[in-house]
């Protein structure tokens, strides 16, 4: 579990680039990365951010739960399991509170100034982890979602799909067997399988927003798929605006 502070996280993932004049879109683009444990999202987001920055796009890399100072305070409460005894509804409200702060303090301002925002987990994680496997009433979840995002729907969502047994094996390798699994990772394989099915159901229901990426492939193949999908979406969205705002 990574509970490092938001300042550390943002600084590590958004290094200052001396002398670089970033390429801002006339209006930003908001991409979210979703999926179960150990699907390799973080590695792929990092690779995509590097590739986009090399092409001089202005990229903001962020994550949930967290991503703003207020949300980061709530992250620790959620991932340590401190809120677990109070039930999934309490956790869902806390995720929504964190998301609202993150949207208003970080995501919306970045999109409005023309950045490409890459966010590691967002509303679909709440739909799946709290809504489906937390057993919360869908109407309650839908209301919370609207309050939390306040219209800030992702332009594009990549759903990293992997067999949960393989994902959990990778997640254990990544954190090292000395460190314990976090509040959500430690749940049963059956719950992780239900989450996989729920993510795929979202992708099937919202094909205009969601793309399923086969995360069992090797990292270079996954990178290729992600890069192709994202650049195609950017081109399809605003090819002329991209050209107009490109640096000389
Ligand atoms: P984290 O260690 O940040 O990352 P990873 O994405 O690599 O798993 O863990 C975040 C955990 O929080 C993860 O188990 C999913 C869970 N989560 C929810 O249950 N609901 C949410 O809305 C979000 C954003 C995350």
Mind listing the pLDDT tens digit for each residue in 160-200? 999 999 999 999 988 887 788 888 888 999 999 999 999 99
User: CATH code at 76?
Assistant: 3.40.50.300
Kind and range of the H or E element at 62? Answer: strand 59-63
Whether residue 136 lies inside any domain: the answer is yes
Q: What is the mean pLDDT of the chain?
A: 90
CA of 224 to the centre of ligand 1 (A): 25
Q: Is 57 in the pocket of ligand 1 (CB under 6 A)?
A: no
Residue 11 in domain: no
Mutational pocket test of ligand 1: of 39, 66, 103, 125, the residue with most ligand atoms within 8 Å of the beta carbon:
125
5 belongs to a structural domain: no
CA distances from 107 to 67, 75, 223 (A): 9, 17, 24
Task: Evaluate: CB of 2 within 6 angstroms of ligand 1.
Answer: yes
Q: Is residue 170 part of a domain?
A: yes
For the entire predicted model, the pTM comes to: 0.89
Ligand 1 in reach of 184 Cβ (< 6 A): yes
Q: How far is the CA of 164 from the centre of ligand 1 (A)?
A: 15
Structural domains counted in the chain: 1
Question: What's the CA gap between 244 and 206, in Å, rounded?
Answer: 31
pLDDT at 22: 60
Domain interval for residue 47: 24-245
């Amino acid at each position: 579990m990574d509970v490092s502070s938001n300042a550390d996280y943002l600084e590590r993932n958004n290094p200052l680039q001396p002398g670089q004049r970033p390429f801002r879109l006339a209006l930003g683009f908001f991409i979210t990365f979703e999926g179960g444990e150990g699907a390799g999202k973080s590695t792929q987001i990092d690779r995509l951010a590097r590739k986009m920055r090399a092409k001089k796009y202005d990229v903001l890399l962020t994550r949930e739960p967290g991503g703003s100072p207020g949300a980061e305070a709530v992250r620790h409460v959620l991932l340590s399991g401190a809120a677990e005894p109070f039930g999934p509804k309490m956790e869902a409200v806390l995720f929504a509170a964190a998301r609202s702060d993150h949207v208003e303090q970080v995501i919306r301002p970045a999109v409005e100034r023309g950045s490409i925002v890459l966010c590691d987990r967002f509303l679909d994680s709440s739909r799946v982890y709290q809504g489906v496997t937390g057993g919360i009433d869908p109407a309650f979840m839908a209301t919370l979602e609207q309050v939390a995002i306040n219209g800030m729907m992702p332009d594009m969502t990549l759903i990293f799909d992997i067999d949960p047994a393989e994902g959990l094996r990778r997640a254990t390798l990544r954190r090292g067997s000395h460190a314990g699994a976090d509040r959500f990772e430690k749940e049963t394989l059956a719950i992780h399988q239900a989450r996989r099915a729920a993510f795929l159901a979202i992708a099937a229901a919202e094909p205009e927003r969601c793309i399923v990426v086969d995360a069992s492939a090797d990292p270079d193949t996954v990178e290729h798929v992600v890069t192709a999908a994202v650049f195609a979406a950017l081109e399809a969205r605003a090819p002329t605006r991209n050209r107009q705002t490109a640096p000389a």
